[in-house]
Chains A and B, each alone.
Chain A
């Protein structure tokens, strides 16, 4: 397993686009957080909860989903999956190693992002005289940790979707269209009692202060983790059984 992990790390780190996606994810999400903090018009509705929301922007998660998708689809596209599986024929090890590497990348990326975004966003809000979230607040720390966990899980979820669909274009479309279009539409149509269980609603719930119409922190985290585990399980089963 150690060998496969090392091999997968070299595989990940020697492709420039992976590094670019990570950096672009951090930069773009930072930009969005700064813009939100600078321009949001909430007036009296502004709370520490809305302040935190401009930090825990889901955009980083979309980048990590794409990174996860690519970890499998690129291997199928370039035909290297068979090379990988002759070098490391234990498929479970290969699959889990990819997930571990992506999970770690998700953690590091989101921690780096938060380390810049949180103080920056709060400074902007403070400057504007709007309420801020304090890192010393237990619930704020919990939400930030939730964001990091969701980012790690999201990378693994993306990988599972990539392993199942195998085509970059289709898989990337799915992981973007689902949260940005389909789930937004469903959330608007369905009663809140149901829509709050949609995957990316639960991801959001895990990374914010308690908010009406959403699951609480732990339920949100557990539900998003459950979605991820189900996808990972199905993808792993198919990966080990089907032809490479």
Chain B
């Protein structure tokens, strides 16, 4: 709630407030440098906010009675001692959470690393390290999972594996909170999204609502009397642009209203179709103003040459 965090003069997280619903799979999405990791560190009591509070089940993380059994965490890929074996790393954490040895073998099985347990995870490939990180998070069989970029460095197969596993964990009734800078990785599996950019909340809610609210929802209209129709639509307060095929793209008026208007004005329509935004489009649009390291030229999604006046 009202989380704020600066490093030096740079405000990384600025008055950020959102809530994650229990038992849902929530994607925490934002471009690189948006403040996702910082937010997660504050949520876990690792970094101290300059202002605001972050709580899990109503308590600051350090006040949880049995944190490892309540919350599973993966925040840093490849944070392992160079020589300590994977099994010993798990033993060390199991001791901190008073977790049985049998559970160590269980989670190693679960992520398919049982045969690699007696060497240091520092020597794992990034994909293996991410799987091992997930084993660490699952050690206490927690009801809540907080994972920072768990798909980072995975190949497509690995991403699919991670996605399916996370979905099934959410289907078991766990609350899964996963960050990614790539919306597409989570779009198919997440129930909700929290989108941030430059430390500000951009959107929070169900994936469907996020798409619905996007201005990329538009109506495509083809007509031989395109100029006349355009004029009328602008008069209605809709914004209109012409795409490369010569079709109108209308925002701010739905297909029904456009059809009615055309009919009453005697304008012939060849095509009238609602076009839903893809999640990726919605995301790009939502974060366009806040992407920190965006190339200035070319692929700027906000300034199409035939943009709205």
A20 to chain B, nearest CB (A): 11
CB pair B76–A79 under 8 Å, yes or no, is yes
Interface string of A133-173 (1 = CB under 8 A from B): 00000000000000000000000000000000000000000
Residue of B nearest to A242 (CB): B48
Which of A6, A80, A83, A243 has the largest count of B CB atoms less than 10 A from its CB?
Answer: A83
| Option from A7, A78, A86, A87 in Cβ contact (under 8 Å) with B81 | A78
A17–B83 alpha-carbon span in the complex (Å): 9
Residues of chain A within 8 A of B46, CB atoms compared? 82, 85-86, 243-244
| Option from B48, B76, B97 in Cβ contact (under 8 Å) with A87 | B97
Band of interface residues on A = 20 to 34
CB pair B79–A78 under 8 Å, yes or no, is yes
A243–B42 alpha-carbon span in the complex (Å): 9
Residue of A nearest to B47 (CB): A243
Task: Name the segment of A8-16, A99-107, A208-216 touching the other chain.
Answer: A8-16
Q: A4-B96, A6-B95, A10-B95 are in contact. Are A86 and B73 (CB under 8 A)?
A: yes
| Option from B68, B75, B80 in Cβ contact (under 8 Å) with A78 | B80
CB pair B83–A15 under 8 Å, yes or no, is yes
A9–B46 alpha-carbon span in the complex (Å): 22
Q: Does B62 contact A (CB under 8 A)?
A: yes
CB pair B81–A10 under 8 Å, yes or no, is no
CB pair B81–A80 under 8 Å, yes or no, is yes
CB pair A3–B97 under 8 Å, yes or no, is yes
A189–B212 alpha-carbon span in the complex (Å): 78
Residues of chain B within 8 A of A88, CB atoms compared? 96
Residues of chain B within 8 A of A91, CB atoms compared? 62
Interface string of B42-79 (1 = CB under 8 A from A): 00111110000000000001101001100101011011
Other 17 A-B pairs with CB < 8 A, given A14-B84, A244-B41: A3-B95, A3-B98, A4-B96, A6-B95, A10-B91, A10-B92, A14-B88, A74-B81, A80-B81, A82-B76, A83-B79, A84-B96, A85-B44, A86-B73, A89-B61, A89-B67, A241-B48
